[in-house]
Amino acid sequence: MHPPRILSGIKPTGQPHIGNYFGMMRPAIEWQERGEAFYFIADYHALTSVFDPAKLREYVRGVALDFLACGLDPAKAVLFRQSDVPQHTELAWLLSCQTPMPMLENCHAYKDHLAKEKTPSHGLFAYPVLMAADILIYDANVVPVGKDQKQHVEVTRDLAHKMNALYGPIFTVPEASILPTLATIPGLDGQKMSKSYGNTIELFPEEKTLRKKIMGIVTDSTPVEAPKDPASSSIVALYRLFAPPAEVEKMEVDFRAGGTGYGDFKKRLFGAVWDFFAPQRARRAELEADPGYVDGVLADGAQRAGAIAEKVMQRVRTAVGLRH
């Protein structure tokens, strides 16, 4: 039995943060041991919200560096830029010719834009079709996603079934693998950590920057001497991701006891985050000093991904009548 072919992508819309690490990057690095893993930096998708070309290039590079620093192994997983494999957009057009408008009108991002009285672009409206192409172009069997992304895999499956019914069995129908749900990772303001809220803690900031961010976490006005509730604290929720269970338990006890201020708890959190990423930080510095290595990884990834994508596209072009 062949190992599964796994497909996942990350959108370069800013510097990767702790939420990205625990939500997508660490699971992806674990999946590379379990099958043929294809991971793409979704720069076409980023164009719906990043309009500064220099920033986009910087973000793409940053995602590649962070992923490699955190343990992605190019010998085990294929890492590439989406735009280096033009078959993604070619297939997206062919799929869009069979995509019912109501299906897209029902997708979360489009509905969210309308609810916020924003005017969605065609790119934002149609991006679930490009996402389906991202998956189907590699004959992927498994797509690891969080619960909130499951709809995209369902759209992909629907389109694959529709095309297979119309043209014969041209696509592998993928399965979603729902990633274990972490409790929502809080940002600096207590809301979910998200680039769009501007409340993120990046993976590899300078020490001074990280300290300043963590010391700026929003807390209530409970006095130092008063007991505090660890269950409602962003500090404790973040500390739980980085510290051993015994240290987390100690922080919870100290919260309930009173006599310790939030500033002291934030210092503990800073120490845990800084130490957790120390090996990855050292690895990232090495990678940054050798830009040719990163270029080579992305070029090799594009070549390996492109070879499979072209094989699938040849099959699809023939099936729909574009080639003999």
DSSP 8-state code for residue 192: B
Segment 262-308, tens digit of pLDDT: 999 999 999 999 999 999 999 999 999 999 999 999 999 999 999 99
Label residue 178 by pLDDT band (50, 70, 90): confident
Q: Which residues fall within 8 angstroms of residue 184, CB to CB, at 6 or more apart?
A: 192
Segment 81-114, tens digit of pLDDT: 999 999 999 999 999 999 999 999 998 888 888 8
The span from the CA of 102 to the CA of 104, in Å, is 5
The percent of residues above 90 in pLDDT, for the chain, comes to 85
Q: Which residues fall within 8 angstroms of residue 281, CB to CB, at 6 or more apart?
A: 69, 204
Give the model's pLDDT for residue 151: 87
Give the model's pLDDT for residue 238: 96
Give the model's pLDDT for residue 183: 63
The least confident of 14-18, 173-177, 192-196 is: 192-196
Segment 37-52, tens digit of pLDDT: 999 999 999 999 999 9
Domain segments of the chain: what residues? 5-184+290-320, 205-276
Give the model's pLDDT for residue 196: 82
DSSP 53-94: HHHHHHHHHHHHHHHHHTT--TTTEEEEEGGG-THHHHHHHH
DSSP 8-state code for residue 202: B
Give the model's pLDDT for residue 222: 92
The span from the CA of 163 to the CA of 161, in Å, is 6
**Which CATH number is 205-276 given?**
1.10.240.10
Average pLDDT of the segment spanning 246-250: 96
Which among 251, 247, 260, 261 is positioned nearest to 231, based on CA atoms? 251
Give the model's pLDDT for residue 267: 97
Q: Inform me whether the pLDDT recorded for 1 exceeds 70.
A: no
- pTM value is 0.92
Give the model's pLDDT for residue 72: 97
Label residue 232 by pLDDT band (50, 70, 90): very high
In whole numbers, what is the pLDDT of the chain averaged over residues?
94
The span from the CA of 198 to the CA of 183, in Å, is 20
Q: Select from 3.30.70.890, 3.40.640.10, 3.40.50.620, 3.40.630.10 the CATH code of 5-184+290-320.
A: 3.40.50.620
Average pLDDT of the segment spanning 114-143: 93
Instruction: Give the chain's largest Cα–Cα span.
Output: 79
The percent of residues above 70 in pLDDT, for the chain, comes to 98
Structural contact between residues 277 and 25, judged by C-beta atoms closer than 8 angstroms = no
Instruction: Read off the tokens for 135.
Output: 């998956």
* Neighbouring C-beta atoms of residue 198, cutoff 10 Å: 10
Q: Euclidean distance between the first and final Cα of the chain, in Å?
A: 32
Residue 11's Cβ-side half-sphere holds a number of Cα atoms within 13 Å equal to: 13
Average pLDDT of the segment spanning 68-81: 97
